[in-house]
A = this chain, B = another copy of it.
Amino acid sequence: MDVHVGGVMAAESGRAKRTTYRHGDLRNALVEAGLELAREGGPEAVVLRAATRQAGVVPNAAYRHFADRGALLHAVSQAAMARLARTMEAEQAEQAALPPAPDAAAAARARFRAVGTGYLRFAQEEPGLFRTAFHVPGDMTYAADATAAGGSGKTPFELLGAALDGLVENGLLPEDRRPGAEFLAWSAVHGLAALLVDGPLRGLLPSQAHDAGQHVIDMIERGI
């Protein structure tokens, strides 16, 4: 998993000094720095020179690993998407552990709701990363990219699909309603997330936001 890393010494400011000429893991270091920048400030805060500075390297060194700033931003975006996937998975695990032993249908329903709840939680807790994850430059089918997957190897989109399949298997969703259902559910949840992150619902208290999320998921269950 881990790569050979050149000796690194902390320095005065954010800059990292290193003893070896080679960095050893620059690409990862740049993505990591980019994530930190994106966390506070969103995609536009992912500045190439700032990332290289934090990695203790000259700006141009980035070009050995990324074609341009856009490529770096894209890598950061994928990493942010992976974090979203992990948050969703964590929410599912948490929900599954809570109630003693519900029937299979209730479990499938809980898994479905956890997908949306986790999505919304990530949007609130990490608005910068959320916006970065969905900052799509040019044309893209990122949802299928493995670099956007979480611990289970599934991307956010795939997690949603699996949860919907679970609803069908347990008779909670008619089979003829299944096709295209991910886009209905995703639209509603993503829309609320957008309104919470940088729309008129920004600044809602976490509890209020949670309630709003449950309402939206209620609507999805009724209307899907």
Q: Please, how many angstroms separate the alpha-carbon atoms of A180 and B220 in the complex?
A: 15
Pick the most buried of A44, A157, A184, A216: most chain B CB atoms within 10 A of its CB. Answer: A184
Chain A interface mostly:
helix
CB interface residues, A 178-224, toward B, < 8 Å: 180, 183-184, 186-195, 198-203, 212, 215-216, 218-224
Of B139, B187, B202, the contact of A188 (CB 8 Å cutoff): B187
Q: Please, how many angstroms separate the alpha-carbon atoms of A62 and B135 in the complex?
A: 29
A200 near B44 with CB under 8 A, answer no
Q: A190: which B residues are within 8 A, CB to CB?
A: 191, 194-195, 199
Interface residue count for A (Cβ, 8 Å)? 39
A195 near B187 with CB under 8 A, answer yes
A215 near B184 with CB under 8 A, answer yes
B187 near A139 with CB under 8 A, answer no
Q: A188: which B residues are within 8 A, CB to CB?
A: 184, 187-188, 191, 216, 219
Distance (whole angstroms) from the CB of A204 to the closest CB of chain B: 10
Q: Top 8 A-B pairs ranked by shortest CB distance? A: A223-B223, A191-B191, A187-B191, A219-B223, A222-B223, A187-B192, A190-B191, A188-B188
Q: Which residues of A does B touch, CB under 8 Å? A: 44, 134-136, 139-143, 157, 180, 183-184, 186-195, 198-203, 212, 215-216, 218-224
